Amino acid sequence: MPQNELGTRVASLNDWYRLNAAHTVLQHALTGPDAGRLALVSSFGAESVVLLHMVSVIRRDTPVIFLDTELLFAETLVYQQELTERLGLTDVRIIRADPAEKAADDPDMTLHTRDTDACCALRKTRPLEQALRGFDGWITGRKRYQGGARAEMDFFEVEEATGRMKVNPLAHWQPTDVRTYMEENRLPRHPLVARGYPSIGCMPCTSPVKPGEDPRAGRWRGAEKSECGIHVVNGKIVRQGVNA
């Protein structure tokens, strides 16, 4: 679809659903004709269970893309399996980097120590782009309170680099909304949250967060990096949060 046409559709959707709840936005995106064929991209991280649960209620055969970087915490891999079974998700796609690219770019699994952006591109950005081929858009768990370029985010966006639609049902949620939803629906938390990990990525690049720190302070701590590159603006990684 031409970007100008998609932009018009996105603007119309945002006007129509501006005052609606997250569940309504997601239900329309998954069952209405306007958004096209969508996949939910989930890290199965600290807050992922909210959207995964909503999807399981609305349409549990929604494709769910899980990027296994092969550097994840063991707890994340177990949590992914447990949630998939508990929520009855029927189309979870576990995506990994191309073996030939890994052999060429990171044969000893140490690329993250030399070039974190290159490691994320190898293990996340390029595999995701491949996995999303054939989809008209994707669903994310991004929220305005996370700051940076997300602060003015709408429910529906145009991803300029690819011409796909991005759907952000939780855009207007606050941390209390996430906690309340999880408690009211008795959803299991990622086991690392209780151990001081409010934001969970790959094991080598994620550390515990002290009380009072930004929730993303443990991601690539000490580096000028706070995004893996999956979310870009005009083809460039947008630095956000504590490491911006």
Q: 83 by DSSP, 3-state: which?
A: helix
Contact 41, 140 (CB under 8 A): yes
Cβ contacts of residue 183 below 8 Å, gap of 6+?
none
Give the pairing type, strands 164-167 and 156-159: antiparallel
* Dist CA 203 CA 83 (whole Å): 20
228 an active-site residue? yes
Q: Which of 187, 195, 193, 138 is nearest to 161 (CA)?
A: 138
Catalytic residue among 119, 120, 202, 228: 228
Q: Which of 114, 116, 64 is nearest to 87 (CA)?
A: 64
Give the pair of three-digit tokens for residue 18: 């501006």
Dihedral of CA atoms 156, 138, 221, 48 in degrees, nearest 10, equals: 100
> Amino acid letter at 6?
L
For 188, list phi and psi in degrees, rounded to 5: -75, 135
Q: 34 by DSSP, 3-state: which?
A: coil
Catalytic residues: 228
